[in-house]
Amino acid sequence: MRKNVRFLFFGVILIFCTLAGSLSGEAKQVSIAYSIDMKNPDSHYFNVTMRVQNFQKKYVDFHMPVWIPGSYLVREFEKYVIGVKAFNGSGEMLPVRKVRKNIWRVRADKAKTIQFKYSVYAFTISIRNSFLDRSHAFINPSSIFMFIKELKEKPVRVKITPYPSWKTISTGLTASRKDPFTLTAKNYDQLVDSPIEIGSQKVLTFSVKGVPHEISIYGRGDYNPDSLIQKIQKIVRTEVGIMKDIDYSRYVFLIQFQPRGGGGLEHRNSCVLQMDHQALQSGKRLDRFIGLVAHEYFHNWNVKRLRPKALGPFDYDREDYSWLLWVAEGFTTYYGGRALLQAGFRTPKSAMNSIAGNARYLVSTPGNRVEPVDEASFDAWIKYYRPNENSINTTISYYSKGAVIATLLDLTIRHETQNRKSLDDLMRSLYQTYYKRLNRWYTEKEFEAACEKMAGISLKPFFRRYVSGTDSIDANHYLNYAGIELYKKDFTHEDSLKGYTGLRIVSKNGNAVVKTVLFGSPAFRAGIYTADEILAADDFRISAGDIAGRLQEKQPGKTVRLLISRRGIIQEIPLTLGLMPNTKFAVRRIKKPTALQKKIFESYFHTKWEEKVNPGADEKKCL
């Protein structure tokens, strides 16, 4: 009996010690909390304190990201940082030394608490930067919040102290029930992927399949709230219908009206859309805005969840290279257009015009014959986001070329499967496999294998020629699958009399200055350079406003004497004009389609074959 009591006593002691050790471990868990205030918005500075507890190291490195995911350019956000200081829990200052352009090293001497303080200048109007003035605050977290590399996976808390008159906050982050300005994220990646709008913005709401969606609107814009909700809701419903899944509990559209605004940037459960004040009026501006919504929202699947290997988790200290941006961005561009068609914002006729427009772009861009689209993806960091005067001759847009490849693959899959499958099935399969089941990225080989499996044929020549190669695309080989064909409209008599130079001209103080010389063009052969200022043609003064008309008055084969100024030296250059290239492409239905071609046409364009489709007519207005 005594023996059992003794064992029971020691057992209780052991349980107590284990529990005490466990509680002690919990008490020492690492925690990260940011506090940010904007006391003086006229200064354009956010004041940030990063409080780190129980990360007891001799030295701790604090990193500022140098780029923002979704925009592949090193933007050097660290250049906006000033006033870096560090303190321990007792308020004693800790030594700080900058060890790289974006890394500050704190000698913490195993302090239990580190308070890392700094200020960030924010006065760039952009979807990629942060902004602060008396009208509102926009926080792009990658340009504001630093991180500790070893702690990127730890949960974080953000406490925002807004300017006193600002009562509204819009973000995809989870807010405290008691305080909407206290936010949490499961890790640093989620924080970075959640922009924050603070001020007096207007907020509209709607739901799709029971999931709440919010539209935050900053700035003065000319729009009808009910109409705006209806249009965005229609896009969401259409794209959810394509992908058959909603993987978030709430989504936020952050709209900003800016005088010279334009563009969008995707985030995990939100997106930023920037446009000028009249963008929501009827006509082409509204069409562009709805197209922007469709593009950025589709990134919710393609990129934010279904993604190439390089696109998450991210290395915020340097470039993350990918050969597959033509899928990430090009396919998203394609599905933005598909959603517009299915939602009724685009007619079958305008969809056919879009195909013709893509053909026109490829033919008119010399870089299409120089740079493969996978290389354009890899080099986005140094080429797409850093264009120069020669870019059109050496590069191609992975957005546009990627959308073309998506079109070809979609039609191929429909043809090879007797229209039982499409690119939609491929995207859903990839999404379910790599995001839902494996919870990871995909590689180039895995993507190609999935395409081949869906089509049921080898696509190796296709990828070799059009993705990693620069072969000219036999468009009609693929378009014929849907009973349509690409053709060139006949040149008018007036077109045939217009002289061609191959120059792109910009106006500088009203003067005609050469922006670009197309490779192999008459101007290229004549030896005209970028930055040449054209002063006169055949002894008559010329300006930026009339140079195109004046030169096109001359017939092909005629020689024009151009007086130019090159780096301050006046000289005369003879330019023999060429024949204007015919890039007036259009798409039409073929005359004798097979039953399969009709079937593919009808499912692809969402219209009956018998219904009139006239690619030459004006596009349908969205309002």
Domain boundary among 244, 275, 300: 300
Token code pair at residue 447: 């993507």
Query: Does residue 590 share a domain with residue 575?
Result: no
- 71 secondary structure, DSSP code: B
Q: Are 558 and 459 in contact (CB under 8 A)?
A: no
Residues 340 and 224 in one domain: no
Q: What is the pLDDT of residue 280?
A: 84
447 and 323 co-located in one domain: yes
Residues 6+ apart with CB under 8 A from 237: 208, 343
Same domain, 554 and 572: yes
Q: What is the pLDDT of residue 8?
A: 44
- The domain boundary, picked from 260, 277, 300, lies at 300
Residue 196 resides in a domain: no
CA distance 188 to 158: 11
Say how far residue 303 (Cα) sits from the centre of its chain.
10
- Does the residue 6 lie in any domain? no
Q: Is 173 part of any domain?
A: no
Q: How many residues does the chain have?
A: 623
Q: What is the CATH number of the domain that holds 40?
A: 2.60.40.3650
| Degrees, nearest 5: CA angle 90-96-97 | 170
What gap in Å lies between CA 106 and CA 86, rounded to an integer?
7
Residue 474 lies in a domain: yes
Looking at 162, 186, 213, the residue that finishes a domain is 162
Q: Let me know whether 370 and 464 are in one domain.
A: yes
Residue 175 maps to a domain = no
- As a whole number of angstroms, the distance between CA 165 and CA 41 comes to 11
Quick check: is 5 in a domain? no
Q: What are the contacts of 94-99 at 24+ separation with CB within 8 A?
A: 99/61
For residues 25 and 42, what is the distance between their CA atoms, to the nearest angstrom? 45
In a domain, 4, yes or no: no
How far is the C-alpha of 252 from the C-alpha of 194, rounded, in Å? 10
CA dihedral 334, 279, 235, 180 (to 10 degrees): 120
Same domain, 465 and 509: no
Per-residue tokens: 143: 């340009």
pLDDT for the residue 10: 46
What are the 10-residue block averages of pLDDT along the chain, 623 residues in total?
45 46 59 97 99 97 98 98 98 98 98 98 97 98 98 98 97 97 98 98 98 97 93 99 98 94 93 91 87 98 97 96 98 98 97 97 97 98 96 98 99 99 99 98 98 99 98 98 95 83 94 96 98 96 90 92 97 96 94 97 96 52 28
Quickly count helices (H) and strands (E) in the chain.
18, 30
User: Which contiguous run of DSSP H or E holds residue 466?
Assistant: helix 460-466
Residues 43 and 145 in one domain: yes
Residues 240 and 133 in one domain: no
Beta-ladder partners of 198: 137, 169
The CATH number covering residue 509 comes to 2.30.42.10
- pLDDT value at residue 28: 81
Residue 377 lies in a domain: yes
Residue 117, CA distances (Å) to 4, 88, 611 in order: 59, 11, 66
Per-residue pLDDT, 175: 97
Please report the sign of the dihedral spanned by the C-alpha atoms of residue 447, residue 330, residue 437, residue 604: negative
Distance from the first to the final alpha carbon of the chain: 90
| Domain shared by 357 and 484, yes or no | yes
The pLDDT score that the predictor gives to residue 190 is: 98
Q: If residue 266 lies in a helix (H) or strand (E), which one and from where to where?
A: strand 263-266
What is the rounded CA–CA span in Å between residue 311 and residue 71?
A: 11
538, 595: one domain: no
Quote the pTM value.
0.92
pLDDT at 3: 44
Are 560 and 594 part of one and the same domain?
Answer: no
* CA–CA separation, 578 and 501 (whole Å): 6
Number of structural domains (the chain) is: 4
d(CA 239, CA 342): 9
* Beta pairing class for 168-171 and 156-161: unpaired
Q: Which residues contact 274 (CB under 8 A, 6 or more apart)?
A: 125, 126, 127, 255, 256, 258, 261, 262, 263, 264
At residue 155, the pLDDT reads 98
147 and 266 fall within a common domain: no
| Structural domain harbouring 130 | 27-162
Output DSSP code: residue 142: G
Query: Which token pair is 116?
Result: 């890392």
